[in-house]
Copies of this chain bind each other. A is one copy, B any other.
Amino acid sequence: MSTRYDLNRAEILRVSAELFARSGYHGTGIADLGTAVGLGRGALYHYIGSKEEVLFAISSRQLAQMNDVADELALTEPNPERRLRGLARALLRNIAEHRAEWTVFFREYHALTGDRRARVVAARERYESHWRHAFDQGVRDGVFTLLPPLMIKGVLGMFNYSYLWLTADGARTPEEIADGFLDALITGLAAPNP
């Protein structure tokens, strides 16, 4: 159950993500955050300890949700193609609904320091490994061919980069776009032989 404190903190993070996405992490001061949410410095510090803590919370939250989805799929979906489809759909849906957060993550996470940075990098690597394991299993099952070197990063780039253009209210749903991308990746773009 969410407490009033949790709800207020979530709202502060949401507004901060929009500010960081618009003006950059370094271009946004704690005072700007306070003004945007209507809190003085003291009240703001009741919810967040530092600007870097805000960046960490924004950068790690969506990624944590995607790792939760991936953990669940790893347990429940033995078919590697369907698991990839679940990963891709959930990722594009989340990016479409949290573009500011993903924009901040992709553009600004490198501004994190020390343990916070290490934790975000580890979460990103764990997420990448979920995709890699699904492809590897597809190879073992005889349904996928061996991926070329570094292709897993290319595949993730294909989906991640959508933070630049994806919207939740476009002509096609994020799930339809995810399916189209995956179909093309699996089937290939070569015209079928006559």
Contact = CB atoms under 8 A, between A and B. Distances in A.
A188 B190 CA distance: 8
A47 interface: no
Given A149-B172, A161-B156, A162-B153, A185 B188 contact: yes
A75 interface: no
B24 A111 contact: yes
A192 B161 CA distance: 29
Main secondary structure of the interface of A (DSSP, over half): helix
A3 interface: no
A184 B147 contact: yes
Number of copies of chain A assembled together: 2
Contacts of A142: 191
A127 to B, nearest CB: 14
A50 to B, nearest CB: 16
B190 A143 contact: yes
A139 B111 CA distance: 43
Contacts of A186: 188-190
A25 interface: yes
Contacts of A114: none
A162 B150 CA distance: 10
A82 interface: no
Interface of A: 23-27, 106-108, 111, 135, 138-139, 142-145, 147-151, 153-162, 164-165, 171-172, 177, 180-181, 183-192
12 contacts: A24-B24, A27-B27, A27-B111, A142-B191, A144-B189, A147-B189, A154-B158, A154-B159, A154-B161, A157-B157, A157-B162, A188-B190
